[in-house]
Homo-oligomer: A and B are copies of this chain.
Amino acid sequence: MSAAPSLPTFAGVVPPVATPLLPDGTIDHTSLERLVERLIDEGVSGLFALGSTGETAYFTDDQRVELLTTIVRAAAGRVPIIAGAIELTAPRIIATARRLVDAGAQAIVTTAPLYTLNSVTEVAEHFRMIAAAIDVPLWAYDVPVRVHSKLGIDMLVQLGTEGVIHGVKDSSGDDVSFRRLIAANVAAGRPLQLLTGHELVVDAMALAGADGVVPGFANVEAEGYVRLWDAAANGDWNAARTEQERINRLFDIVFQPSGLSGDATGVGAFKAAMHARGIIDHPTMAVTVQSLDADTVARIRSILSEQGILPVSVA
């Protein structure tokens, strides 16, 4: 559990890798390799495999291992890889996580229990039980819109101090809480690395003290986030803001679908744009998730074109 020097760190731009699928719903390994190659080429500093953007909840553990294996092989050790073990409770998460570690995950990230009704004490015990059962660093993923509970600041810093968790991916939608987490982490001697999932305000969260960002949109274009993060790291906040505003205009692709689910909308827009740019061969969604219609795809292509990132020469 000790933070030995050899442990992987996750900071800067760490995209959640999308899951390219063939029209029959099976994994498109060729597109996945191309995607990973492109992300690394554009300068990301780590990969977040099997997250929400990767539609991980829709895949069996066998498929998850298959996905992770390709990501690990394609990354070839150039950047560290953290993998999501999304499951109901500690015993089930441990089973999944061990398979992912065997497949090459250098760290595991998971949420509070799903479906169950737990106290803070029980949620802390949940993370302790998982950390004790795996051989790589554990991260906590705070995403109330999916988990329907929020991870508390005191618990997170306590678990960090104990060495149970090594970092937090914050997709809580609560910037005030994240700022307070940053301050509490500093006061505790920085046991945690803190990544934001709020890709529209990375400049602001960097100013606030975030260690990095997990931007789903990087699947469409990663280099903007890399430039943004470098500018912030150099204290050039005006440049960071300018880049963020450029990205946000592109991010409008996510607001083009209407009447669809959250998963169909967000990941659907990313996949449509990735397909338009030639990064993936098919915009196929995971099973049961609806596809975008042609008009929506046309509006997405139009935004990419207006912002000058279509066509693209693909690696």
Interface residues of A (CB under 8 A from B): 57-60, 63, 86-92, 95, 111, 113-119, 121-122, 125-126, 129, 145-148, 173-176, 179-180, 183, 198, 200-201, 203-205, 207-208, 235, 237-238, 241, 245, 248-249, 259-264, 287-290
Across the interface, which residues of B come within 8 angstroms of A180, CB to CB?
200, 248
Q: Which residue of B lies closest to A92 (CB)?
A: B60
A60 cross-chain contacts in B, Cβ below 8 A: 91-92, 95
B248 touches A118 (CB 8 A): no
Residues of B within 8 A of A115 (CB): 57, 86, 111, 114, 146-147
Instruction: Evaluate contact between B57 and A116: CB separation under 8 angstroms.
Output: yes
**Closest CB pairs A-B (n = 3):** A117-B262, A204-B204, A119-B261
A228 to nearest B CB, angstroms?
12
Task: Name the one of B204, B241, B287 contacting A91, with C-beta atoms under 8 angstroms.
Answer: B287
> Hey, which chain B residues are within 8 Å of A89, CB to CB?
57-58, 287-288
- Extra contacts, 4 of them, besides A59-B92, A60-B95, A88-B88 (Cβ < 8 A), are A57-B113, A117-B261, A148-B148, A179-B201
- For residue A248, which residues in chain B have a CB less than 8 angstroms away from its CB? 179-180, 183
Residue in contact with A126 in the complex, picked from B147, B148, B288, CB distance below 8 Å: B288
Contact of A122 among B148, B207, B245, B288 (CB under 8 A): B288
Closest to A255 in B: B180
Instruction: Identify A88's interface contact among B57, B198, B205, B249, CB under 8 A.
Output: B57
